[in-house]
Each structure stands twice: as structure tokens, then as C-alpha cells.
Amino acid sequence: MTLDNVLTSNPPTLSRLTTQVNFKHQPSAIMNLTPLRIALYFALSLFSIVVLGLAAARLKYTLNLPRGDPLNFGNNFHESIVAELLATSILTMLWSWYIIHVIHKRREHGLVSSFRRAWIPLFILWVMWLVGAVIATFSLFKRLPFGVIVIHNAGLVRTTEFLPIDSTSPPFWTLLALYTSTVCFTNVGVIFWPSLFTPIKLGPYTLQHRVVLAPLTRLRSTRDTNVPQNPTMKEYYSQRASVPGTLLISEATFIAAKAGLFRHAPGIWSKEQIAAWKEITDAVHSKGSYIFLQLWALGRAADLSALQASNPSFELISSSDIPLSKNPSPRPRPLTTQEIAEYTSLYATAASNAVHKAGFDGVEIHGANGYLIDQFLQDVCNKRTDEYGGSVENRCRFALEVVQAVVDKVGEERTGIRIGPWTPFQEMGMKNPIPTFSYFISQLNSRFPNFAFIDVIEPRVFGGNSEPASQNLDTGNDFIRDIWLPRPMISAGNYMRETALMQTDEYGNKNEDAKKGQMIAFGRYFISNPDLPERLEKDIPLTPYNRSTFYLLGDTTGKGYTDYPFADEARL
């Protein structure tokens, strides 16, 4: 029986196929497979894989199809790619040899009179390959209509997903072609796709790219009750959720009135605040995106007049009695250990309000920029002599207790934290923050294996300003990456498209783990470009921001807030 008969008969198993093809009785076919011819067809096949992979990537890019990884490699990206490429090489060699063999057998039996006509079956097989690739790549289901299960992870490891091959399965070589084409249409496209625009798993959620809306104070809430003002704020967040699969981190939000207070900044303790935030989260979810609430307590950075207008008994508090130089009187009062426990509980309650009542996907604890948690972490402010001060372990105690309390309420996978080791904003800036923050991140790493993410401010930016902590630019936060990656890590710090690509890809070349976990937060350019992920991916020019409209207290007109154009509108 010839191979042509094999393909048109009942679908064989691999063992039956090798039995039916007795190469000892077909010496001419083997002799015609010269090394040069084999090399030529093998090279042609590999070249076709690269071309088709790039074409598929370009098609996904042009049609705005799911980015990078439609078959869900997840966090096994690197291992999958290595295994898939090895599998592709082996399968492509077999596939090329098979095509050549069929052509020569047809010539040998007089079924074709010339090599030119022998390309007809080759063309048919190639069409099968392409059709299979399109179906396998863009199918919404892992199981295809004709019974083939698409391989969605390492090919050499996961072969059991399409075995055994029996009488109800497609012919072996068709299956082989489909798998090879699936690899070429997905993996090669992924290889040439910047990491910034590939999916990432964040707790229970799958983001479609690594571009994150940074937490941005905008002061559009009500003056005295700190209620988000809708529909203005709802429209603002909804616009920035317009690219599906985007992660938004809300503006800093007070966990309680006594933990503030600034006028026109939002809170999450009252029913009115929770209801307003629920409208916002519903709008974000309707766009297919996700939103975390940033939990905020000011400590010594609070506006005392706003605090006492809310309640005359409220006062400035901190880890110690060291005031900010810009506001030396009155001096903040150090929290007692009982009050520290109370604040820990306030964080937990606020997290529960956010996730269980207001509909947020998770929370980010604000532990940076000289606010309350940072006032405990950094020794320039924390001069305590009890269990919350002095040693690195003691200064990290409050932050770790807050994280534990929040995790107990909403779960590890819905909890993140922002830190800023190098930021001198609000008179922070330890001489050497590495021991403190190395310990803190190591503790998070060991205590909370399913922690959603850490959000780290780079030394090139601090607080709401753009001045770099230049003396630390050479070291930066690589010491944190070495501890935390490949777990999700957001980096923030005046990133532009080029520097974001460098951070996610060039650092990833030195440390492959970075490609698995690294995300980039954008602030000011996300204000002026509501569709920023799309603009960055397609390299569309960015709309400049207007700094004078960043903080229009209580404004509901949308000026400098919801009136920035989308890319399509900007082209008109």
C-alpha cells in the first residue's frame, strides 16, 4: 500500500502507518532524497514558519485581536517557547520529508509526469496546513470542531493532550500539520511581540498587556464628604478602561476620616462613597478591564484644618513626633500600640468595603511617598524605641501587619502594595534603603505566595514631581526585582514607550524572569491619552498633558479630565 492509499483509507495510528510504509521495498524514494534536497526543503519550511508567524502577528496587531498569547501560555512562557521550538524543528523536518516523499512516490508510479505537476498535492497539503493554523490559532475553544485538542503549553511535555490517535481521530500527518502550524502561527508571533503588550496573570485575572494606570490624585470628589462625583469620575475611569484587559489603580483613597484628610480627595468609609465607587467599578468592568483601589492614610502629611473641620478631636499622628519642616507646628503625636492596631483594622475594613461592597477587583496599600506606612518604614521619620521602631524588622512590623489584615479580609490574590525605597518626597529618603526594603519584600515573598503584585516607584521619580533621585539611578530597584520576579511587579517612574520597552525586554534579556512579571505604570500620559495602551502598542503619537488642570478642586466640567481625545478622534 502506498502513502497515498494510507492517507485516503481509514485514519491509521502511528504504528500502523510505519508498518504500512515499508521503506525497504521503495529504495528509489529514499535514494532521491539527496542531502541537498532535504536541506533545501527543510530550510524552506523553516523560512515559511517565520514568515507565517510574523504575518499572523501583524494580522493580530492590525485587527486588534488578543495580544501575544491566544493559547494561554500563562506564566510558563519561557519554558513553553523552548519546548515548542524544539518540537517545531522536529515536526517540521518530518513534515518536509513526508511531502518530498509523497512527490517522489507519485513520480515513481507515473502519477505525475513532471516535478511541476507534483506541486499540486503539495499545494493541497499546504492549504490544509494554513486552514488548520487559522482555525487552531483563532478558535475560542481548545477543542476544535473535528476533535483535535489544541496544545496550549509545552509541546514536548503536553503531547498527551492529543493522544491516543484512534479511528475517530484525524490522520496522523494531518494532526502533525495542524500542530506545527499552530506553533508557527502563535509562538513565532509571540517571540517577535514586545513583552509590554503580552498577557500576564494577576491573581485571578488575566490582563491583556502590561500597561497600568498609575494611582493619580485628581481631587474631583466632594469637598467635605469626600464622595466621588459622578458621572464625571465614572467617565474618567471608564475612558481609561477602554482597551479590554487593562489594570487601573484608583487615585489614593482615605481608609477613614481620621486617616486623612485632604479636601476633594475620595474616601471609602461611608455608604455614599461606596455607592459612588460602585458606579465607577461597574463602568470599568463593562469595558472588560480591572480596577484596584489604593488605600491611603496620611499620618503627619495630613491637612490639619481639614481634619479638624471633619472632627475637632482629630489630630496629626505619625510613627514619631518628627514634623514636616514645611509644617513644624503642631508636632505629630506618635501612635500608641493600641492605636496602631486600630489603624491596622481601619485598613482591613476599607479593603473589605472596596472589594465586597464597592466592587473593586482588589486593593493596593499605599506604602510610599512619606505617608503613614512609609513613616514607619523609614528611619528618617521612625525614631520609636518599642517593637515598631529601631531595627529593620521592627520598622517593617506595622506594614506587614497591615498587609496581613487586608489579606485576611480580601485574600492574597486581591492585595498589592506600593513602595518607594528611594523617594525623598515629604522628607523621606534613607541613606541606604536596601536592607530595609530587601527584608520587607523578602517577607512578603515568603509569607504571601499568592500576593497580587508589588508596585515600586523608580528613583527617577518621586511623589507628584519629576525630579530624579540621581544618586541612585545606577542601582535603582534591581535588588527588589532579584527578590520578587517572576511574580507580578509594577514599576513606575516617568516611563515613555521606549523606556517601558527597555524595562520589560532589555532587562528581560538579562533576567528572563522579568518578561514574566514586569509591568509598567503610566501616570501623566495616561491622563492625556485615555487609550494609552493602544497608542503605545501601535506607536501612535501621544497627546501632551496640561499640568495646570491636574488638580481642579471639585471640578465636574471634565476640563483636563475627560476631554482628552482618543486616537481616532485625534486623527480627525
For residue 52, count other CB atoms closer than 10 A to its CB.
18
Report the run of H or E that residue 249 belongs to, with start and end.
Answer: strand 247-254
Residues with Cβ within 8 Å of residue 425, at least 6 apart in sequence:
369, 370, 462, 463, 464, 465
Nearest partner of 295 among 274, 316, 318, 266, judged by Cα: 266
Q: Is 79 exposed, middle or buried (0-12, 13-18, 19+ CB in 10 A)?
A: middle
Q: How far apart are CA 290 and CA 363, in angstroms?
A: 11
Q: Among all residues, which ones are annotated catalytic?
A: 371
- Cis amide linkage into residue 164, ω under 30° from 0: yes
- CB half-sphere exposure, 88, CA atoms < 13 A: 25
Strand boundaries in 421-526, DSSP class E: 453-457, 489-492, 518-522
Cell for 103? 512527490
**How does DSSP classify residue 210?**
S
Helix (H, G, I), strand (E, B) or coil at 230: coil
For the chain, the helix, strand and coil percentages under 3-state DSSP, each to the nearest 5 = 50, 10, 40
Q: Output the CA angle 536-207-227, nearest 5 degrees.
A: 90
Long-range Cβ contact pairs of 429-432 (< 8 A, separation 24 or more): 429/378, 429/380, 429/469, 430/378, 430/379, 430/380
For residue 299, count other CB atoms closer than 10 A to its CB.
23
Q: How far apart are CA 508 and CA 457, in angstroms?
A: 19
Handedness of CA 428, 432, 438, 440 (dihedral sign): negative
